[in-house]
């Protein structure tokens, strides 16, 4: 089984929740993918790490991260998978105490090539916020990767904001191919 097949299986088995939920965007959906339920298990974490480390090499990333909570386990999986990168997390707002940083982790500099990551993309709003925070600090974004894309237009929005390629490791079509709202 390939790493992609393993990730899809883990997401389908452990992360797919059927039933009405309210998404971050405020929209209502009849299913939810709680990716952390799958990627914080050994098989899902290992598969994700392998895929992200390979992608980090492809885009020559030196740093990997994104908006905190969604990106936290994803960035850590990249490091565990062997990516030769720094990990970082973007806060929704700068801390009011301490160093008052918005981008946490090892300091990023003008030479870093950032791979922005996210667990699940619907509208792309959280990922775009992370991209904008990095751009405000003058960081170079070389790509964006999500664990799963719900195929609701977020990918296009992310790619436009980043000015760099967007890639979903899996989509809702892979994880829930027989969902009622599929065209």
Question: CA triplet 80, 64, 66: central angle to 5 degrees?
Answer: 115
Query: Above 70 in pLDDT, residue 66?
Result: yes
Yes or no: say if 68 and 118 are a contact pair by the CB < 8 Å rule. no
Predicted pLDDT of residue 183: 61
Confidence label for 97 from pLDDT (cuts 50, 70 and 90): low
- Binding site annotation covers 121? yes
Query: Is residue 93 part of an annotated ligand binding site?
Result: no
86 labelled ligand-binding: no
Q: What is the pLDDT of residue 3?
A: 98
Known binding residue 120? Answer is yes
**Would you state the pLDDT for residue 78?**
97
Distance CA 85, CA 16 (A): 30
**Is 97 a known ligand-binding residue?**
yes
Contact (CB, 8 A) for 158 and 131: yes
Q: Convert the pLDDT of each residue in 110-165 to its tens digit.
A: 999 999 999 999 999 999 999 999 999 999 999 999 999 999 999 999 999 999 99
Q: What is the pTM of this model?
A: 0.94
The answer to whether 168 touches 149, Cβ cutoff 8 Å, is yes
Residue ranges and CATH numbers for the domains of the chain are 53-175 (3.40.50.2020)
The number of helices, as runs of H, and strands, as runs of E, in the chain is 7, 8
Q: Residue 93 above 90 pLDDT?
A: no
pLDDT at residue 27, as a whole number: 81
pLDDT for residue 182 is more than 80: no
Q: What digits encode the pLDDT tens for the residues 11-47?
A: 999 999 999 998 777 888 889 999 999 999 999 999 9
Rounded Cα distance, 127 and 108, in Å: 18
Q: Do the annotations mark residue 12 as ligand-binding?
A: no
**What is the predicted pLDDT for the residue at 41?**
98
Per-residue model confidence (pLDDT) at position 25: 75
Average pLDDT, integer, range 104-109? 95
């Amino acid at each position: 089984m390939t790493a992609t097949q393993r990730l899809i299986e883990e997401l389908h088995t452990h992360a797919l929740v059927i039933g009405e939920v309210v998404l971050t965007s405020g929209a209502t959906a009849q299913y939810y993918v709680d990716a952390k339920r799958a990627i914080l298990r050994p098989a899902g974490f290992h598969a994700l790490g392998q895929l992200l480390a390979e992608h980090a090499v492809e885009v020559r990333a030196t740093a990997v991260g994104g908006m905190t909570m969604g990106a936290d386990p994803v960035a850590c999986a990249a490091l565990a998978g062997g990516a030769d990168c720094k990990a970082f997390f973007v806060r929704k707002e700068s801390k009011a105490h301490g160093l008052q940083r918005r981008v946490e982790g090892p300091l990023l500099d003008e030479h870093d090539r950032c791979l922005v990551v996210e667990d699940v993309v619907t509208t792309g709003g959280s990922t775009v916020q992370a991209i904008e925070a990095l751009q405000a600090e003058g960081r170079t974004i070389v790509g964006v990767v999500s664990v799963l894309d719900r195929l609701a237009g977020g990918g296009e929005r992310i790619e436009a904001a980043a000015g760099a390629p967007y890639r979903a490791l899996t989509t809702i079509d892979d994880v829930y191919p027989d969902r009622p709202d599929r065209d």
